[in-house]
Amino acid sequence: MNFLHSPITSEHNYSPLEIKRFAAIDIGSNSVRLLIENVLQSDEGPIFKKSALIRVPVRLGGNAFVQHNIPEITIRQLIDTMIGFKHLMRANDVLHYKGCATSAMREAKNGDQIIKRIKKETGIQIEIITGNTEAHIIFNSQRVVREKVGGNCVFVDVGGGSTEITVFKNGKVEAAKSFKIGTIRLLQNSVSLVEWKKMKQWLHDHTLRMRNVSLVGSGGNINRISKLAQLKPDKPLPFNKLKDIVEEIKSYSYDDRMKKFDLNPDRADVIVPAGEIFVSVMQWMKADKIYIPKVGLGDGIVREVYKEYLNGQKCAHIAYLGYYSGEYCFPFLSNSVIIE
């Protein structure tokens, strides 16, 4: 629990237009993101509205998946990014936030040491989460979308180091699994045939007797592909269209992809393996379309943060941008944090 301004009270008396800001830090394998969302409490429940999304191309997976170590130059980039995020959260009057690190940090032998350095040098505490926890958080972010696509559906989130899959049957979680198949791993040729077979078999086992199954994709790459496809809101992407786009992008060189499709340097190489993962999943499931709601881990983290806030959950440690009073976390907004 991380509070930037005021202690929690057990009572929440909202005016009709009262807006509070919550944030999520997502330290992935290919980039680091800060998501800030406005939350409006209404009679029908909370309304989440994206206020800002900042993405910094710090590629932790470049070394983590092969050497199982993150080098100092990358650690320094990550710490500088956290310092920037800290000031952005303060400037945006964020009330409560949470930070999570995924597969690259899980595999790096110095992952725990990096987390301690971030805490020491920036005041921000990050939690390294398991693959299954990651899948569960992503599931929480997709509830509204799941209601739209039907009771039986499969959510697939493709990242740099892993693919998270959640299966819903009659609107309830049937199974969730994280596989070590990600875009950076594929670029490094570090995904075994055994892992591919495991994912295919797992999907087969958990969807064999399900009918009318909808497929939902999330992650930065599938979001970018949907933009290239010029999808209309709430419309699915047909399998043939997805396959054609992936094959077209693949036909261009790395430099030409940036020019032709207006891709950032850290997107131009990973978008093809990401697309190929989605194509494989759709082929295995014999799916003819995929829904792309453009929500993911960060959205799920914000919803967890908001739920904790409403529950009046106490802080277990010193606030990431504040100090621990003994029971609740209060802001510490002086200049005592030294930025090197």
- Side chain identity, residue 296: G
Catalogue the E-assigned strands of the chain.
Answer: 19-27, 32-42, 45-56, 96-101, 127-128, 153-158, 163-169, 172-179, 214-218, 237-238, 289-290, 322-324, 329-331
- Determine the pLDDT at residue 144: 57
pLDDT in tens, 47-100: 899 999 999 999 999 899 989 999 999 999 999 999 999 999 999 999 999 999
pLDDT at residue 2 in the model: 61
The domains of the chain are located at 19-130+297-331, 143-290
Query: Residue 27: phi, psi to the nearest 5?
Result: -95, 100
Higher local confidence (pLDDT), 294 or 165:
165
Other C-beta atoms closer than 10 Å to the C-beta of 305 total 23
Domains 19-130+297-331 and 143-290 share a fold: yes
Task: Tell me how far apart the alpha carbons of residues 52 and 23 are, in angstroms, rounded to a whole number.
Answer: 9
Does the pLDDT value for residue 180 go beyond 70?
Answer: yes
Query: What residues contact 112, with CB distance under 8 A and at least 6 apart?
Result: 128
193 exposed, middle or buried (CB, 10 Å; 0-12, 13-18, 19+)? exposed
Pick the CATH number of 143-290 from 3.30.420.150, 1.10.357.10, 3.50.50.60, 3.40.50.150: 3.30.420.150
Q: What pLDDT, on the 0 to 100 scale, is given for residue 143?
A: 62
Mutual orientation of helices 131-141 and 297-310 as an angle, nearest 10°? 80
Q: Under CATH, which architecture does the 19-130+297-331 domain have?
A: 2-Layer Sandwich (3.30)
